[in-house]
Structure 1
Amino acid sequence: MDWDKLRIFHAVAEAGSFTRAGETLHLSQSAISRQISALEESLQVALFHRHARGLLLTEQGELLFQTAHEVFAKLAMTEAQLMDAHEKPSGELRVTATVGLGANWLTPRIREFIELYPEITVNLILADRELDLGMREADIAIRLRAPVQPDLIQRKLMTVNHHVYASPDYLKKHGTPACLEDVLESNLITYGEEAPTNLSNVNWLMKRLTAIGRTKEPVFKVNNVYGLLLAVQSGLGIASLPDYIVHGHTNVVRILPDVGGPTFDSYYVYPEELRKSKRVTIFRDFLIQKVAEYSF
């Protein structure tokens, strides 16, 4: 497989169009189109569905992109390590993330980063409100939506999905629901009125149940996703949780496999003036590699 064509394919898949990829690669749209067509011809498969609004990956294209994305993430990480062989980055790196994402997904992975870069101190600031990066309340933010603040650089990290979860103890006592109607009288755990404003339709499960006839109020409300997780683990009831927060927890099981909630993208965000910061770029590449190792 031609390495240069694979690099161009990866850029096009990330950008979603030949034009935007051309701006990144400093190549003309026609040159990129020729390279993609040549790659498709050599593989004898179509990698993109072409339509008026842009490009969509085919099933085969998605498979190739996932592999290429992981390879390029590892290469970027290796490149950072080689570059820092002569000049090790050091100092404090202030990272802000939501309580759920920061405590449950990010924190367990910090040890590996510190082992790679022992001269860097990570200061993780957990807050469900969005800190002002422009005012340097933090160097980096991991956001659950695209930033609206100007002069911020953003890089998509992962897509977050919501599903329905309960504890084995709760299911043993109350039975495992086979369909949404079976949840009508279940103990439901939801966000309270003070739920994070950066998430839309957080109580989607309650709304769907109300639409099909539920009249029972939730047994417990809490304004934090980590609180939801702990309540589910305790056997209190059923709740919608983002998939990333249950990763590694054996006492939480997914139920109703055909029922899904909101899906949204998370982003690695930092100010323009930190574009050339080694600490910022190597932490970004490290997280991209960690995301590639686990499918959400």
Structure 2
Amino acid sequence: MDIAHLRIIHALHQYQTLGAAAEALCLTQSALSHRMKALEHEIGIAFWNKQGQRLSLTPAGQELLRLALRVLPEIAITRSRLKLMADGRGGRLHVAVECLPCAQWLNPALTRFMQEWSAIDVDVVSQYRFSALPALLSYQIDACLTPDQMPHGDLHHEPLFSYRLCLAVSKQHRLATRQTFTASDLTDETLLTYPVERSRLDVFTQLLQPAGLEPRHHKTVGDTELMLGMVASGRGIALLPAWLLERNACRDRIALLTHAVQPLEKHLWLVVRAEDRQQAWMQGLFTCLRQQKPPDS
């Protein structure tokens, strides 16, 4: 059984005569009949009954038709997408977001991109324990928005913008009267972080671990709004991008402190496979991202 059999059974269902179905498929009537008879002989069951010039599908023919109705549209869609890809106008863009707060910045840029590149299938993947490097190399995703570089010769890092990390505390907190903080200030606190492994949390890698310190409690929170609400109500502190508070309802109840030794600067990258970098639509994505106003500006 092959695609030709599915196209024939679909045409027979549509036109209900061998002659009309053969003409629609640009076949001779004898070629069409021979092809289907060979399949009937192989399987041992008839696909249609003839009544004069007209025919009707048997239960076996109806079963084959159901397969044709599922498969043929998918083939047509895939063929169309492949043609767009060949012309440089189509493709798939599945983006993983490892910088969870940055998803708020990404969405407007993706909206503009989808308007300009309507033939690109766009999806956003947010998985806290997502391993983007193998996913990129195995084609599970096509891009990753991340503050961490992934050293690998097959990947391209497109620089987007820099931003500053600050310590967010309630305005009623003991530290709220200060402008700066140190790692030792965190040891008596409940530290709120996203549910990401410690090796990728700056508050641990850049502050606590180098000083050999631990917070009193460490609690993970998967939602930014909830985390800021917890900070505002004095239920914990968090190291976050300063721009997160700009449009948040809790901004009047939260104070931001910078690190006393040196500012904690981060860079945001869009990491893609090097082979995809020159695709017309990927260049279009880079343009949309560059046009999107950085959060701190």
- Bin the TM-score by the shorter chain: 0.5 to 0.7
Measure, in 1, the Cα distance between the counterparts of 2:131 and 2:139.
12
Q: Is the 8 A contact 1:180 1:209 kept in 2?
A: no
The one-letter code matched in structure 2 to 1:249 is N
Aligned counterpart, 1:148: 151
8 Å contact 1:190–1:228 — kept in the other structure?
Answer: yes
Choose from 219, 222, 231 the match for 2:220: 222
1:71 alignment partner in structure 2: none
- Name the structure 2 match of 1:130: 131
1:141–1:270 Cα contact (<8 Å) kept: yes
Q: Does 1:243 align with 2:242?
A: yes
2:163 aligned partner:
160
Contact 2:165 2:258 in 1 (8 A): no
Secondary structure of the corresponding residue to residue 286 of structure 2 = helix
TM score, norm. by length of structure 2: 0.53
* Cα distance per residue 1:104-161 (max 9 Å; x no partner): 3222443333334444342011124332212101111122122223211122112232
Alignment of 1:174-213 (within 5 A): 176-178=176-178, 180=181, 187-191=189-193, 195-202=197-204
* Partner AA of 1:255 in structure 2: L
Matched, 1:92 2:95: no
Is contact 1:186-1:238 (8 Å) kept?
no
Partner SS for 1:154: strand
Query: Is 2:173–2:234's contact at 8 Å kept on the other side of the alignment?
Result: no
Matched, 1:290 2:292: yes
Q: Are residues 244 and 200 of structure 1, via their aligned partners in 2, closer, same or farther at CA, if it must alter by over 3 Å?
A: same
Task: Decide whether aligned partners of structure 1 residues 136 and 146 sit closer, same or farther in structure 2, where only a CA change above 3 A counts.
Answer: same
Deviation of 1:162 (Å): 1.0
Task: Answer yes or no: is the 8 Å Cα contact 1:190–1:203 preserved in 2.
Answer: no
> In structure 2, do the counterparts of structure 1 residues 290 and 198 end up closer, same or farther at CA, with 3 Å as the change threshold?
same
Q: Percent identity?
A: 17
1:111 aligned counterpart, secondary structure: helix
CA distance in 1, matches of 2:149, 2:215: 35
Describe the superposition over 1:48-97 as per-residue Cα deviations: whole angstroms up to 9, x where unpaired.
xxxxxxxxxxxxxxxxxxxxxxxxxxxxxxxxxxxxxxx89345321111
- Mapped to 2, the partners of 1:294 and 1:157 lie a distance apart of 11
Structure 1 residue 238: deviation in Å? 2.2
Residues 1:263 and 1:147: Cα distance change in structure 2 (over 3 Å): same
Instruction: Indicate conservation of the 8 Å contact 1:177/1:255, yes or no.
Output: no
- Structure 1, unaligned stretches of length 5 or more? 1-86
TM-score, with length taken from structure 1:
0.54
- The 1:266–1:103 alpha-carbon spacing in structure 2 relative to 1, beyond 3 Å, is closer
**Number of aligned positions between the proteins:** 202
Counterpart of 1:264, as a letter, is: K
Structure 1 residues 116 and 234, CA gap change in structure 2 (3 angstroms): farther
Letter of the aligned partner of 2:145 in structure 1? Answer: I
For the pair shown, the structure with the greater C-alpha radius of gyration is: 2
Q: How big is each residue's C-alpha offset from its partner over 1:149-194, in whole Å with a ceiling of 9 and x where there is no partner?
A: 321112211223211113xxx4247683325489579753244896
Distance 1:228 1:114, change over 3 A: same
Structure 2's unaligned 5+ residue stretches are 1-86
Asked whether the 8 Å contact 2:99–2:146 carries over to 1, the reply is no
Deviates more, 1:122-131 or 1:195-204: 195-204
Q: Provide the rounded CA distance (Å) in 1 between the counterparts of 2:188 and 2:270.
A: 37
